[in-house]
Amino acid sequence: MMGGYGDVQLLRDDGLRLDGRKIDEMRPVSIEAGVLPAADGSAMVTHGLNVAVAAVYGPMEAHPRKIQRQDRAVIDVRYNMAPFSTSDRIRPGFNRRSREISKVTAEALESVVLVERYPRSKIRVEIEILAAEAGTRCVGITAAAVALADAGIPMRDLIVGVASGKVEDTVVLDLDKAEDNYGQADLPVGILPNTGEIAFLQMDGDLSPDEFNLAMEYNFKAAKEIHEIMVDALRRRYEGGEA
Amino acid sequence: MSQGQSGAEQRLVTPGMAVGPSTGKRAGSGIVAANDTFIATQLGWLRERNSTVSVDPINAAYMPRSGDLVVATVAEVRNNLWFMDINGSFQGLLPMSLAPWKVEFGAARQHMDVGDVVLARVQEVDECHNVVLTMKGVGLRRLNQGAVETLPVQHIDRIRGDNNENLQRLREACDCRIMVGENGRVWIDGSLDGIRWARKAIHALASTGHRTDVNELLTTLENELKGDA
């Protein structure tokens, strides 16, 4: 885990990372909106080797009734990694990790969706990770945001999931699998690019205040880039005249 | 408008996008004002009409409002009321006191059963989305014949047109009775050929009405109908 593998070289002698990226360079991102015709809104995000598909259903009447809130909608997120998404097969179904990620994703989305517009309702968000290479929770959040916009759900902003971390005492943007496994810290955040607000933040490992600020600087820069790709994906889907 | 619509050109806006200064203008649906700036909250086409800036959403769920005319389907029957599917997030409730017939307690099913289609009006919607329907009113009735088409709710205005112009043309062209519910359901009744043409025309209007000349589209469809005849 974090910081325990000092013999693994994660930065090359020329200062680049193992996959040839600069320390503040993101993996390539592509987004497609409206990939699932049966869902009210959907999106597929490819971020490096990660592939996530998100589907949104609703707003619908919240069932069971005990989860209903009289003044707002609840967002029901189900994050799941497909058994074939990693090199070692994952046992299908919910586990502790997917429950945690579903919960933090739901809380992040609740802070951007105008939930007060839909009392007693439920908005179902399904996130399926088809291929995983570190940073799947961030990719899932980005996919969910595009799917929610595609479904016509009112939101304050398009939330972007992005992560930075530390490897070999160097702050780097967007960790890949080796950096995530053998690095010293990981800082995934959910950013609202238009307002600069943070809707979700987790930190695994240790960062000094200066390192934290630098990691956040990288995250905000990457969030702006991803946000443009998200908007472009929605434009491509609808400015062609489908709507 | 900084990134949104200017003049007659339609521009797509996404949630969180700043669409222009709020001074001297009102925020319509899909828009919130923050720090003297209008922010879009929904994906859709920006529209400015009578100093009101709003977003015509690309996708939207039907949110019932008091007074809406809806085409509803009976989903459940109880002793003294019907639960109606109104194509929204929640079912509507039609109590026997608001039905157009004198209904005895326990005899609701004799008047309307599951699957029956009715033309009703939204009587009341409370803040918790409890929807009460009424069938007391002129023209509100059970629909015993014809066909029901379901369209995206946000495209209903394209079917109607300004002052119901498009709808009137459709009615005259196919000689059918056409009722457009606010909930995205359209009831069509007439000859089989008329219904077939009306369905085609309605779907053409709903899917392309925003980017093609509606007059031209309707003329083409009318000519097709005449040609078939």
Percent of chain B with pLDDT over 70: 93
Q: What CA–CA distance (Å, rounded) separates A150 from A146?
A: 6
Residues of chain A in contact with residue B60, where contact means CB-CB under 8 angstroms, are 152
Amino acid symbol at B90: F
The Cβ of residue B183 has, within 10 Å, a number of other Cβ atoms equal to 25
Model confidence band, residue B1 (pLDDT cutoffs 50, 70, 90) = very low
pLDDT digits (tens, 9 = 90+) for A118-159: 988 999 999 999 999 999 999 999 999 999 999 999 999 999
The minimum CA-CA distance between A39 and chain B, rounded to whole Å, is 12
Best residue in A109, A118, A146, A197 to probe B by mutation, most B CBs within 10 Å?
Answer: A118
List the single residue in B with minimal CA-CA distance to A113: B41
Residue pair A143/A129 in contact (Cβ under 8 Å)? The answer is no
For residues B134 and B156, membership in a common domain is answered with: no
Q: Are residues B43 and B88 in the same domain?
A: no
- The answer to whether residue B159 sits within a structural domain is yes
The B-side interface with A (CB below 8 A) comprises 12, 14-18, 30, 32, 39, 41-45, 57-61, 89-91, 127-129, 154, 208, 210-211
Domains in chain B: how many in total? 3
At a CB cut-off of 8 Å and minimum separation 6, what does B73 contact? B84, B85, B115, B116, B117, B118
Q: Which of B125, B143, B161 is the last residue of a domain?
A: B143
Question: Of B93, B114, B143, which closes a domain?
Answer: B143
B151, B224: one domain: yes
Q: Residue B129 is part of which domain span?
A: 69-143
pLDDT of B204: 87
CATH number, residue B181: 3.30.1370.10
In this structure, are B153 and B190 located in the same domain? Answer: yes
The pLDDT of residue B211 is 66
Encode pLDDT of B126-176 as tens digits.
887 889 999 999 999 999 999 999 998 888 888 888 888 889 999 998 899
* Domain positions in chain A: 29-238
Residues B158 and B220 in one domain: yes
Beta strand A121-131 with A74-81: parallel, antiparallel or unpaired? parallel
Highest mean pLDDT: which range of A47-61, B3-17, B51-65: A47-61
What's the CA angle centered on B88, arms B167 and B150, to 5 degrees?
A: 40
pLDDT band at A5 (very low <50, low <70, confident <90, very high): low
Range in A5-9, A161-165, A236-240, B55-59 the model is least confident about: A5-9
CATH of the domain at B16: 2.40.50.100
Edge-first strand order for the sheet with B31-34 is: B18-21, B37-40, B31-34
**CATH code of B103's domain:** 2.40.50.140
Q: Decide if pLDDT at A1 tops 90.
A: no
Which range has the worst mean pLDDT, A85-99, A161-175, A192-206, B8-22?
A: B8-22
Q: Is residue B158 part of a domain?
A: yes
User: Are both B131 and B195 inside the same structural domain?
Assistant: no
- Structure pTM? 0.86
Same domain, B79 and B119: yes
Domain at A29-238, CATH from 3.40.605.10, 3.30.230.70, 1.20.120.330, 3.40.50.10800 = 3.30.230.70
pLDDT for B66 equals 94
Are the C-beta atoms of A87 and A176 separated by less than 8 Å? no
